[in-house]
Amino acid sequence: MSRLRNFFARLFSNPLKECKRNGMKVGKGCNILSWKIIAEAYLIEIGDYVQITDGVHLFTHGGGWILRHYGRGISDYDSFGKVVIGNNVYIGNNACIMPGITIGNNVVIGAASVVTKNVPDNVVIAGNPARIINTIDNYCKKMERWNLHCKNMSDDKKKVFLLSLDDNKFIKVHKSL
């Protein structure tokens, strides 16, 4: 029955409303695009102005299977960890936040990162396992040069605008593996 309810919830609801309905504490101005965080949502607390992009997993449990089934005799084993996310946090696509993690304020988490340790304020983290790669101040300074000022354009107007630009206006990676 739970699978059927989740299926219809995805069709007729949105992740933010579903998370709140399941007991997640969510601050103001948040944008949640992921359906991967509904289990034990009541163990998750999110501050103000947080964006959780598509495919993000917030884990509140895990690892119990082996203790229940590998000759340990703990058939009812279950363990949990709360996830706390501060204010002004961006979590990139397909990132995984493990149980018991606290993420500070003003944090960017790169796409596909696996967060296994608490994250301090004012940093950019990425990787598997995630590590600090920059400060928020340096990141903002670096990224300002790529601002094309098109956030509030309609999709059609933005398409015409972006396709009219020279290649030197787009983000470029100058390092090779």
Cite the active site residues.
61
The C-alpha atoms of residue 120 and residue 102 are separated, in whole angstroms, by 8
End-to-end CA distance of the chain: 48
What is the Cα–Cα distance from 107 to 89, expressed in whole angstroms? 5
CB neighbourhood size of 171 (10 A): 7
Q: Give CA angle at 170 (166, 173), nearest 5°.
A: 125
- Report which residue type is found at 102: T
Beta carbons of 171 and 146 less than 8 angstroms apart? yes
Residue tagged 């990162």 (tokens): 113
C-alpha 133/C-alpha 127 separation (Å) is 9
- Number of Cα atoms under 13 Å in the Cβ half of residue 94: 4
